[in-house]
Amino acid sequence: MEDFSPIVNYVKRYISLTAEEEAYYVSLLRIKKIRKKQFIVQPDFVCNHRTYIVKGALRSYLIDANGQDHTVAFGIDDWWISDFNSYFFRQPATLFVEALEASTIIQISYDDEQKLLDTHPKFEKFYRILAQVGYAYLQRRILVDISLDATGRYENFLLKYPLVAARVPQYALASFLGISHELLSKIRNKRVKKS
């Protein structure tokens, strides 16, 4: 028997569900186990799923014209991740979404999510709240990126997301912070010497 309780409990933080609504929602979901370094989204293909992370760590990133990768987001247990631009607008993805460790995810397809919203409008509220939280997170990230130097961005990340910082590889964290792996090593070494 597959366990959908983590995602159901997540949804219930924001909206109440009857037994029938919960059963219908669960019927639209699929649990997947993915390997470390496995991609669930790749550029040039339309992203067809919204992904909830039961257990694991993933990152979304793009590779620029010079071959440099830029991490856009991380996701760990009880978080969501996708190429949302591709998912919502039904156009080819620009991001890779890759597992940083072996992970268990729950996905809903775009088509099934549309059916859910058509038949159970209360889920509109749930997804609106997810969108609001995501937008606020994005705004905070932009403000940090434009107002702090590299050390400040690293310190801020450690303060806000210590669990993520402990689980993601240093190269991915450097990419997220917009700095080189070498500079991140120097910042971390200075921090260790101060302690």
Give the DSSP letter of residue 92.
Answer: B
Residue 17 DSSP SS3: coil
What pLDDT digit, counting tens, does each position of 32-45 carry? 999 999 999 999 99
Distance from chain centroid for Cα 101: 14
Q: What fold does the segment set 5-147 form as a domain?
A: Jelly Rolls (2.60.120)
DSSP H or E run through 25: helix 19-27
Taking the complete model, does pTM exceed 0.85, yes or no?
yes
- Residue 192 has a pLDDT of 76
- The burial of 116, by beta-carbon neighbours within 10 Å (0-12 exposed, 13-18 middle, 19 or more buried), is given as buried
**Domain ranges for the chain:** 5-147, 148-195
Question: Does 195 have pLDDT greater than 80?
Answer: no
Length of the chain: 195
Residue 106 DSSP SS3: strand
What pLDDT digit, counting tens, does each position of 104-124 carry? 999 999 999 999 999 999 999
CA 12/CA 9 separation, integer angstroms: 5
